[in-house]
Amino acid sequence: MPKTGDADDVARIVKHLPDNVKVLPLIETALGMKNVGEIAGAARVERLVFGTVDFRTEMGIEGDDQELLFFRSMLALASRVAGIAAPVDGVTVAINDVAELREACLRGRRLGFGAKLCIHPSQVAEVNRAHLPSEDQLTWAARVVEAAKSAPGAFKLDGEMIDAPVIARASELLLRASRFAA
């Protein structure tokens, strides 16, 4: 849903859709960002999408990195609070710059984004690869989950404390990897 400004925009659209259709509001205006929490909580919203190019233009923001940190964090927080899927980050307009695309994907992952829009088909493979857990992460996650089977509560592994939130993160990494493998 482009230019989603508030939850009423979502309601106006979903009443015309079949019941099984979910929506992905595109947050690309100042109004949409101001109302991001209510939009995330609107009926049938599956996940939020950050329209960085239009947002930057409206706000007069130059740059796509630290300049948008606060706003990306708002989308990730609103998504978590609403209990919807992790948000989708905006496009990287440098079509042929694989290093810039990779860094943008990693930044988004670090901030809690679960996907990234592509502006060109040549970006799809790199975006998919960047959103998969690394081999090191998967090895760590498997070790944590295995050790948790025989260690009630919190325990130490490789000098680090492992407790329920860490086990949950490890399990989520393994689940995410299995979804891509299927």
Residue 37 · residue 82 · CB < 8 Å: yes
pLDDT recorded at residue 181: 63
With 60 as the cut, is the pLDDT of residue 182 above it?
Answer: no
| Confidence check: pLDDT of 78 > 60 | yes
- The domain limits of the chain are 7-130, 135-181
Mean pLDDT calculated for residue range 94-123 = 95
The yes-or-no verdict on residue 16 having pLDDT over 90 is: yes
Ramachandran category for residue 63: left, alpha or beta (phi over 0 → left; psi -120 to 50 → alpha): left
* Three-state secondary structure readout of 32-94: HHHCHHHHHCCCCECCCEECHHHHHHHHCCCCCCHHHHHHHHHHHHHHHHHCCCCCEECCCCC
As a whole-number percent, the residues of the chain with pLDDT over 70 amount to 98
Question: For the ranges 71-75, 115-119, 128-132, which has the lowest average pLDDT?
Answer: 128-132
The CATH number corresponding to 7-130 among 3.30.1600.10, 3.30.470.10, 3.20.20.60, 3.40.50.720 equals 3.20.20.60
Predicted confidence (pLDDT) at residue 4 exceeds the cutoff of 60: yes
What's the predicted TM-score (pTM) here? 0.85
Is the pLDDT confidence value at 49 over 90? yes
